[in-house]
């Protein structure tokens, strides 16, 4: 039996970032992953680092996380492909332009740089866009990167401090004092962290996490040149939807000269098969904003299952009825952005440190205490 201060179950970018944070805090750590580091949901993400302002808690976590990524960027290997391209939120009409002004006020109140572009300034910044857009919001400190390599970078930093990386090791059971692997081996630990994304409910059935399927496509070289991550403001309507499939325009420039295109959402869909109808809708939507996509070769199409919580915020902190179990899951489509902040929040709580932001909006007790009482009274 091996003994650690903490065993982290799940080697996606959140688990890997947590291994980095906890090992830096002096804990002995094991990072246990069923496959390879960063090859699950992390490898299926767009890799955007974006400040989002759907609510105050989301804005606090995303903006802090993006700032933590900026602190790391000079030490990241080139293969992480960190690109401080910024984000343009595109307004197609006056109603969406009004939303731009609301968002810029939210960002500035939170200390985030943001500026309003009128139509002329927008087309000067991005000449490849289709005509007719009325303006945009630019958030210059947003960025994009290549998620699986970022996850491996965190894991290797932890390993260099003595953390044990265990890949190809499915976990069969979580229990007080450690975890049981599928082969029957036991890893003893004072703390166990569940960071297994959509697989988390299989090990902790009371978790209110469900899959949201998304499609992505990467083009060949020769794509229309764009300089920012481009997102239509209608993306927010898609992101907030809880029923039915939806698509929205989201494009990222890659350092390879390709374009990464999203996005789609299919709540509750657990299949990883590519849905041709959804993909067609997504591409038609993208062509509305970038006409130069017509005839461009798609190099690869894939899907990912994002772990969604009922309120769109992750669960970060101790399980209210299992004090030995900590949770770092339910990030849906913001796991790459918030990996840094999520890791810090959990590490700060575990190590008794004061965090830079209030951890209470992300506490698992907002769901699990009520669920447990409901079971008890059933």
pLDDT per residue rounded down to tens, the chain (378 residues): 669 999 999 999 999 999 999 999 999 999 999 999 999 999 999 999 999 999 999 999 999 999 999 999 999 999 999 999 999 999 999 999 999 999 999 999 999 999 999 999 999 999 999 999 999 999 999 999 999 999 999 999 999 999 999 999 999 999 999 999 999 999 999 999 999 999 999 999 999 999 999 999 999 888 889 999 999 997 665 555 556 899 999 999 988 888 999 989 999 999 999 999 999 999 999 999 999 887 788 999 999 999 999 999 999 999 999 999 999 999 999 999 999 999 999 999 999 999 999 999 999 999 997 554 444 333
Nearest 5°: the CA angle 262, 144, 355 is 115
Digit-coded pLDDT (tens) for 266-299: 999 999 999 999 999 999 999 999 998 877 889 9
Interatomic CA distance for residues 316 and 318, integer angstroms = 7
* Contact indicator for 152, 94 with CB cutoff of 8 Å: no
- The four Cα atoms 97, 103, 109, 112 give a dihedral, to 10 degrees, of -110
Residues ≥6 apart with Cβ < 8 Å to 182: 169, 170, 171, 172
Q: Give me the residue label for tokens 């996606």.
A: 12
Which residues contact residue 354 at a Cβ distance below 8 angstroms, ignoring those fewer than 6 apart?
348
- Which helix (H) or strand (E) segment holds residue 285: the answer is helix 276-289
- Is residue 212 a contact partner of residue 306, using CB atoms and an 8 Å limit? yes
State the Cα–Cα distance between residues 244 and 49, nearest whole angstrom. 26
Residue 179 is predicted with a pLDDT of 98
CA–CA separation, 44 and 147 (whole Å): 8
How many CA atoms lie less than 13 Å away from 248 in the CB half-sphere? 21
C-alpha to C-alpha distance for 138 and 163, rounded to whole angstroms: 40
Cα distance between the two ends of the chain: 39
Q: Which two tokens stand for residue 264?
A: 């789609």
**DSSP 8-state code for residue 45:** S
């Amino acid at each position: 039996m091996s003994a650690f201060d903490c065993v982290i179950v799940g080697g996606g970018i959140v688990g890997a970032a947590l291994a980095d944070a906890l090992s830096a805090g002096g804990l002995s750590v094991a990072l246990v992953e069923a496959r390879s580091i960063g090859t699950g949901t992390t490898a299926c993400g767009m890799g955007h680092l974006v400040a989002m302002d759907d609510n105050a808690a989301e804005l606090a976590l995303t903006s802090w996380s993006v700032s933590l990524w900026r602190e790391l960027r000079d030490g990241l290997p080139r293969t992480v492909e960190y690109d401080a391209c910024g984000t343009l939120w595109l307004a197609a009409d006056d109603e969406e332009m009004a939303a731009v002004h609301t968002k810029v006020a939210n960002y500035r109140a939170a200390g985030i740089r943001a500026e309003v572009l009128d139509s002329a300034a927008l087309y000067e910044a991005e000449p490849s866009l289709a005509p007719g857009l009325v303006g945009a919001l630019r958030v210059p400190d947003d960025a994009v990167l290549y998620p699986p390599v970022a996850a491996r970078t965190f894991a290797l930093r932890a390993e260099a401090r003595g953390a044990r990386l265990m890949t190809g090791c499915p976990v069969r059971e979580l229990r007080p004092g450690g975890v049981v692997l599928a082969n029957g081996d036991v890893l003893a630990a004072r703390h166990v962290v569940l960071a297994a994304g959509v697989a988390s409910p299989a090990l902790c059935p009371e978790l209110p996490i469900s899959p949201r399927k998304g499609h992505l496509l990467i083009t060949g070289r020769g794509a229309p040149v764009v300089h920012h991550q481009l997102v239509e403001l209608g993306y927010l309507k898609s992101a907030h939807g809880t029923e039915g499939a939806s698509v929205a325009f989201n494009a990222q420039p890659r350092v390879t000269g390709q374009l990464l295109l999203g996005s789609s959402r299919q709540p509750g869909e657990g299949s990883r098969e590519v849905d041709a109808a959804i993909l067609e809708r997504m591409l038609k939507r993208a062509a509305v904003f970038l006409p130069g996509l017509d005839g461009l070769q798609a190099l690869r199409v894939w899907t990912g299952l994002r772990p969604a919580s009922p309120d769109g915020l992750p669960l970060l902190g101790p399980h209210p009825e299992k004090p030995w179990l900590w949770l770092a899951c339910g990030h849906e489509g913001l796991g790459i952005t918030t990996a840094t902040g999520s890791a810090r929040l959990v590490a700060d709580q575990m190590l008794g440190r004061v965090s830079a932001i209030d951890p209470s909006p992300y506490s698992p007790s907002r769901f699990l205490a009520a669920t447990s009482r409901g079971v008890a009274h059933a």
